[in-house]
Amino acid sequence: MTPDQYFPLLTTPAGTIRHAEAVPLTQLAAQFGTPTYVYSKAALVAAYQAYASALAGKRATIHYAMKTNSNLSLLRLFGELGAGFDIVSGGELQRVIAAGCKTDKVVFSGVGKTADEMRLALQHGIKCFNLESVSELDRLNAVAASMGKIAPISVRVNPDVDAKTHPYISTGLKENKFGVAFEDALPLYRKAAALPNIQVIGIDCHIGSQLTEISPYLDALDKVLDLVAALRAENIVLHHLDLGGGLGIRYQDETPPAASELISAILQRLEVRGFGDLELAFEPGRSLVGNAGILLTKVEYLKHNSAKNFAVVDAAMNDLMRPAMYEAFHDMVAVQPRNGGSSGSAGNPQSYDIVGPVCESGDWLGRNREFDLAEGDLIAILSAGAYGMTMASNYNTRGRAAEVLVDGEQVTLIRRRETVEDLLRAEQEI
């Protein structure tokens, strides 16, 4: 199978992607319409196994950060592979339950957990709450006491380390809302250890997303291990060290380290520092699903003026929010290039802004892309498996896209396209 027929990791150079595994994209567009998210099962499995293989034989757990893509079919797949889950809401916990996955492998992150969400998590016996404030600790202790339960906790420590990523997805600096300041963590642990309905079991650190270097991880790890040593000196013993996720993927020309490189460096640092006995936990998200998905879209109109050429496609910012929100780059390729060209370059290429039909100037998916296009052409927007559907909205009363999972020659519709009737159903007449 040639690279343009198979995109398990989407490392194919800029060019054509005509197939999702063994299925032509033209067939998927005809069967399911556009825009449609298309995921490769082989890519998902390969990405997960990269972590699992690097951690084989170690005391370690993998918790999929499901905010990246929470489709029930993907959750079931990762659950079958052995993953637990990193959640940030009660709704995400209910998705884990609906997918039939184990709740005792769930870690609950997030700065704003409500009392109801805490009760739900305690009822289902999750592995750990990753606490992010003193107030949250007090609330969790009270909720657990009211239920006659003991809440297992770790503290998410903010190490004030620059992750060298986009400021909107950086989480480990003092000015970020996440975690407990490093200097406040030890007093918080002391308080937690003394509370009757709290059990201290771990420590947590997550410094951001789309990291492409190992050094920020190791800088954060060193600070966290300093705190672990201080806790041990006070007989506060931790069972696990949760290093979060955030490993980057290739969108354009990034060269992030492989999961095995990152894990090897972390394991080596733990041994050097004398903490090889700690159980490890990781919370990968984007690196498991990002390169496993594309967004398939169709050109509706070609529009030209003296300053710009626009390709108006049927996908929009409500389908893929990342470009509008972060000015994020997603590579794009023609599904049916002309004159043998890989991405339209051999025909009559022009520079296009790829834009959607939503009534906002910010509704663009790519700028200054070279294509030879005609109305009705299909474009594959790459690396769209993470933060695509989970961030989608119904702006302009647009139904969210369909989602399909491809496994070799087999195609499964894992989320049908929303209709206007779906959107109106929840609204009551006055």
The amino acid at 250: R
Interatomic CA distance for residues 54 and 424, integer angstroms: 48
For residue 309, which of 340, 348, 276 has the smallest C-alpha distance?
348
Q: Which residue has the tokens 């986009």?
A: 166
Compute CA distances 55 → 49, 60, 255, 280, 334, whole Å.
10, 7, 22, 9, 38
Got the DSSP string for 84-114? EEEESSHHHHHHHHHTT--GGGEEE--S---
360 is in an annotated binding site: yes
Is 326 annotated as ligand-binding?
Answer: yes
Residue 64 among known ligand-binding residues? no
Sign of CA dihedral 247, 248, 250, 251: positive
95 is in an annotated binding site: no
Phi, psi angles (nearest 5°) of residue 264: -60, -45
Q: Is 284 annotated as a binding residue?
A: yes
Eight-class DSSP state of 72: H
Residues noted as catalytic: 359
* AA letter at 133: S
The verdict on whether residue 409 carries a ligand-binding annotation is no
Q: Is 189 annotated as a binding residue?
A: no
Joined tokens for residue 115: 């009392």
The answer to whether 271 is a known ligand-binding residue is no
- Residue 286 among known ligand-binding residues: yes
Across 31-158, where does the E strand assignment appear?
36-40, 60-65, 84-87, 106-108, 128-131, 151-158
Annotated binding site: 246, 283-286, 322, 326, 360, 387
Question: Can you say which residues are annotated as belonging to the binding site for substrate?
Answer: 286, 322, 326, 360, 387
Query: Which residues are documented as binding site for pyridoxal 5'-phosphate?
Result: 246, 283-286, 387
